[in-house]
Structure formats: structure tokens, C-alpha cells
Amino acid sequence: MIRYLLKRVASGIALLCLVSTITFMMVFGATGNVARNILGENATADQVTALNSRLGLDRPLMVQFGDWVSHAVRGDLGPSWTMSESVASALASRLPVTLSMVTIAVAMMALLSAMLGIAAAVRGGWADRAIQIVSVAGFAMPNFWLGLLLVLTFSVKLGLLPATGYVSFSASPSAWAASLVLPVTALVLSGIASASQQIRGAVIDALKQDYVRTLRARGVSPRSVLYRHALRNAMPAALTVLSVQFIALLGGAAVIERVFAIPGMGSLTVSAALIGDVPVLMGVVVTLIIVVVLVNILIDFLNAWANPKVRMS
């Protein structure tokens, strides 16, 4: 078990190093126009050269990379090129916003798709059809368009919920919740589509196993067969879906945050990408990879709990 987890951690660190390197080469290797982007069209050539040298862009790429790495391992991701704060502090204020939104969305999605998936696996019929419709709709409707429709309906037409903007939890828990209702709804639908189908399949598979027949033959109640035995055995598959969905939602949050003007990682990434604030982009990628690696390790832990075989090896 310990060895298994250590292996996963090592694999995560390797992934982090590899992706950071590739991303660095991509984003810092293409900084030719960044100074002009930042200074605007009317900047003189001298101003551009001066900015390039101030940002350290006139050094060889490998030197820049070594410099970045030596600071990054100490938690210093450098200053932002366009904002007056450091990358680390920008991330620190943005990450909790996105994480809380995505976590709530994943939890809701897990709950709803488990209910729908189990109902479809056991009953078939209406639940099966509901899943089919939801999965096609959830897949085909871009979540930001759904977000726009929600804004149009609930904010512009009905005036029930705030259209945009974000209130921090510490400022007002109820306003915080209200500001998250629409974005979370928009995020959840697309996820339910694939998650509920996977859970349905996993439960059907579990119910087909020989030991289910034996448990029934022993007089174990149908409820226990489904909720205790089949569900526990369907858990690994369900957890895998959730980890995939978590990653998808982190990306999807970028567009959703734009629609609802939520100051999270996504809107930070978009503005940094459009203007070319390269240190911020590096910081975002590194941070999100760390988050993903941590979430995957958490999923591994849960998996080990559900599946004793994993625990042993």
C-alpha cells in the first residue's frame, strides 16, 4: 500500500517536471511579441528592448529556465508582468475560488449521477431514458452556452439570481452561495452525462457477478445486495470517472468563470493568455498539475478503501 502510493507520488512529480519543462519551453520560447503586447502599439523599439532586458528575456532560454526552476522550488513563481502582484500571491487569492466552485460541482455531480446511474441500472425504464437524454444534452450543450442561457433566464428575465460577480464566503455566506448557484449548475450538467452512464455500467457489471447470486441465495436482502455489495464493488469505476471529471471541470471553469465574472484561476488564465503574461501562465499550469496529482492520490486512497486487493499489493 505504502509502496503503491509512493509510486503514484513519484509518478506525479515526474509528470509535474515534464509538463513544467515543456510548458516553459513553449511559453518562454515565444515571448518575441510580449513586450510590445504589454507596452502597446506606440512603444518605441528602445522601450521594447528595455522591457525585454528588464524581464530577463534577452538571456538564453536555458538560463531563464534554470532561474525559474531555482525560484519555483522555493515557492517563488516570480512577479507578474502585467499585474502589480507576484504570481504566487495572485494564485493564492484565485485558487480557493476555483477549487470551491469545482469541488461543489464535483460533489453535486457525484450525488446526482450516482442516484441516476443506480436507478437506471436497477430499474431501467424511465431512469434509463432520462440518462440517455441528459447525456446527449449534457454532452452537446457547451457549458458556457448553458451558463449564458441560465443568466438570460434567471438573471436578465426573472431577476432571481445575480448574473455575474462573486462574493467571498467570509463576506457573506448566503451571497456566496447565491453567486455560485448558476455557475455550478452550468458545470454539473455536462459532467452528469458521462458520470451517470459510467456508474450505471459499473453497477450493472457488479450485479452480474457470481457472488451477487450467492449472496441472494444466502438470503441477504436485495437492499444490502445493491447498496452494500454492488455499490462498493462499483466504487473504483465511479471514482475514476470523478477524477476525470474533476480535471475536465478545472478546464471548463475557465470559460464559466468568464461568463459569470468569477475571479478564479480560469479568468486569470484567460487574461494572462490574451496579453501574454507568461509567468502567470507558468504558475497556473504548475499549480493545477499539483492539484490534479493530489486529487488523484486522494482517489487512490479512496480506491484502496473500497478495494482490499489494492490495499495489499
Q: Under rule CB under 8 A, which residues in 131-170 are in contact with other proteins?
A: 132, 135-137, 139-142, 144-145, 148-149, 151-152, 156-157
Stretch that binds other proteins, among 39-47, 62-70, 103-111, 252-260 (CB under 8 A): 252-260
Closest distance of CB 133 from other proteins, Å: 10
Output phi, psi for 157, to 5 deg.
-80, -50
The residue within the footprint of other proteins, chosen from 19, 99, 237, 302 (CB under 8 A), is 19
Pick one of 101, 119, 184, 292: the residue that binds other proteins (CB under 8 A): 292
Between CA 168 and CA 189 the distance in angstroms is 24
The residues pairing with 79 across neighbouring beta strands, listed in sequence order, are 86
* Side-chain-side CA neighbours of residue 113 (13 Å): 32
Q: CA-to-CA distance for 299 and 115, rounded, in angstroms? A: 20
29 lines the binding site for other proteins (CB under 8 A): yes
Site string for other proteins, 199-218 (x = CB under 8 A): --------xxxxx-xxxxxx
179 forms part of the interface with other proteins (CB under 8 A): no
The pattern of x and - marking residues 97 through 136 that bind other proteins according to CB under 8 A reads -----------------------------------x--xx
Tell me if 281 contacts other proteins by CB under 8 A.
yes
Which residues are CB-neighbours of 25 under 8 A, at least 6 positions away?
61, 65
Q: Should residue 289 be labelled a site residue for other proteins when binding is judged by CB under 8 A?
A: yes
Burial class, 74, CB count within 10 angstroms (exposed 0-12 / middle 13-18 / buried 19+)? exposed
Establish if 252 lies at the interface with other proteins (CB under 8 A).
Answer: yes
- Which region, judged by CB under 8 A, interacts with other proteins, from 42-50, 72-80, 167-175, 272-280? 272-280
Q: Binder to other proteins among 220, 237, 261, 302 (CB under 8 A)?
A: 220
Count of residues that bind other proteins according to CB under 8 A: 79
Which member of 51, 276, 300, 302 binds other proteins (CB under 8 A)? 276
Does 192 sit near other proteins (CB under 8 A)?
Answer: no
Q: Which of 106, 202, 278, 299 binds other proteins (CB under 8 A)?
A: 278
Report angle CA 146, 130, 152 to the nearest 5 degrees.
20
**Residue 46 or residue 210: which is nearer to other proteins going by CB?**
210
Q: Identify which of residues 100 and 176 has a Cβ nearer to other proteins in the complex.
A: 100
CA 155 to CA 152: how far, in whole Å? 6
Contacts of other proteins in 223-242 (CB under 8 A): 224, 229, 232-233
Question: Is 109:245 a contact under the CB 8 Å cutoff?
Answer: yes
Cα–Cα distance for residue pair 97/179, rounded to 1 Å: 11
DSSP string, 228-269: IIIHHHHHHHHHHHHHHHHHHHHHHHHHHHHHHT--SHHHHH
Rank residues 75 and 308 by Cβ distance to other proteins and give the closer one.
308
Rounded Cα gap, residues 183 and 185, in angstroms:
5
C-alpha–C-alpha distance, residues 273 and 278, integer Å: 8
Q: Could you tell me if 113 and 188 are in contact, meaning their C-beta atoms sit under 8 angstroms apart?
A: no
| CB of residue 66 to other proteins, shortest distance in Å | 20
Alpha-carbon gap, residue 61 to 56, rounded angstroms: 10
> Of 91, 114, 258, 260, which lies in the binding site for other proteins, with binding defined by CB under 8 A?
258
Residue 290 binds other proteins, judged by CB under 8 A:
no
